[in-house]
Structure 1
């Protein structure tokens, strides 16, 4: 009986410790290192510097393991920075190193859930660059979207148009090592060559269009299932 009581007490202690650790992960945004944001004048801008031009709910996972949930987020793809809104309504740019963030919003009456991750090494990438995870597993399909703002002045006019232009790069990653790929069958199969015959059959039987993100993700997901 004493042995059973001792085991029960130890189990209860371990459960409490794990509970305290989990509670410690969900902290308030006031604890985050951040700075005020100089917001864009998007009224006269063609295109948007943000992933989604309105506030959306998201989850942040810092590189130290701390998790923040239910935060109002925007992802600035010009600065490659996360912008959040405090409970007081202050708009700030996050300075903490982020491992991953997830953001959800409605677009064209469809619920969107998107995940972005940093920490990859590869051509044209810095360790802090955020890449969208299109397919995850032993092999990941990643998308890097970069935006730039251009000012264009019309001939014989004082009017200046401000326009946002986006460029996209794709990567196949194993662990944190990412290899840039093109949206073609040859490029993708070169990056993951060990199951080429299976993948070619899957592409043909499912009529995949590898110019589309969705079909590229299907191919990598199938690879991970083999």
Structure 2
């Protein structure tokens, strides 16, 4: 029944042949290396925190470097290990995605709005000053003349419960961090904090508009700044 519904929906939307039926499954199979999910193991007492951006399997959309979109598939983004996990519809276990030809991906996150979901977009951090970071993904919070990018970071702190100088920490802990960047129209990448002063300094051309934007003085969250930038720097 699921296959029939998917095929009917794809036909109605005139989906390219590479995204449906046996061709879609073949494309997805080609993106996996057959490795099952490996979750970091903690010490004797386990781990606090998660390596994933979201522990749920979320509907994902994949965009290849050749511009061809792939069939939707459930995804998890393992931030700690910089990798994507995929759960094909014809399997129960999860697989490691071979993302060497992947340019970007989107996650459909349930949210309370008119559409009932929040679409989060991630792409390669090609502007990173360090070459080692350019294969990582950044979340695109805003895209106009300026782009507000968020680099998600997870740090693993090992437990220290053995030996005479232990710290008393009985659990491994995964710490959540993040860095923000403003990509200017002149291609300069400016590290920023999410506050009015920092964004005005990074984008002087928008300084007055940002100052006058409702809520900008007190805005702190990703969603708040995404909405403010959408108002002063539309696509």
Q: Given the two structures, how large is their TM-score scaled by the length of structure 2?
A: 0.74
Distance 1:93 1:50, change over 3 A: same
CA contact (8 A) 2:19 2:69 kept: yes
Q: Alpha carbon RMSD of aligned pairs, Å? A: 3.1
Once the two structures are TM-superposed, the CA of residue 209 in structure 1 deviates from its matched residue by 2.2
Once the two structures are TM-superposed, the CA of residue 177 in structure 1 deviates from its matched residue by 5.0
* Greater strand proportion: 1
Residue pairs, 1:189-200, within 5 angstroms: 189-200=200-211
Q: Which residue of 1 aligns with 2:126?
A: 120
Q: Given the two structures, how large is their TM-score scaled by the length of structure 1?
A: 0.77
Once the two structures are TM-superposed, the CA of residue 146 in structure 1 deviates from its matched residue by 0.8
Distance 1:23 1:220, change over 3 A: same
Q: Choose the corresponding residue for 2:104, options 68, 76, 100.
A: 100
CA distance in 2, matches of 1:162, 1:141: 32
CA contact (8 A) 2:195 2:217 kept: no
1:60 equivalent to 2:68? Answer: no
Distance 1:113 1:57, change over 3 A: same
CA contact (8 A) 1:83 1:93 kept: yes
After superposition, what is the alpha-carbon deviation per residue over 1:106-152, rounded to whole angstroms, capped at 9, x for unaligned? Answer: 379x7443111114313457221111111122211111111022222
1:47 equivalent to 2:62? Answer: no
Question: What SS class does the counterpart of residue 226 from structure 2 fall into?
Answer: helix
1:91 equivalent to 2:94? Answer: yes
Question: What SS class does the counterpart of residue 88 from structure 1 fall into?
Answer: coil
Distance 1:67 1:196, change over 3 A: same
Larger Rg: 1
Q: Which residue of 2 aligns with 1:34?
A: 33
Distance 1:124 1:223, change over 3 A: farther
Distance 1:186 1:159, change over 3 A: closer
Gap runs ≥5 in structure 2? 1-13
CA contact (8 A) 2:180 2:191 kept: yes
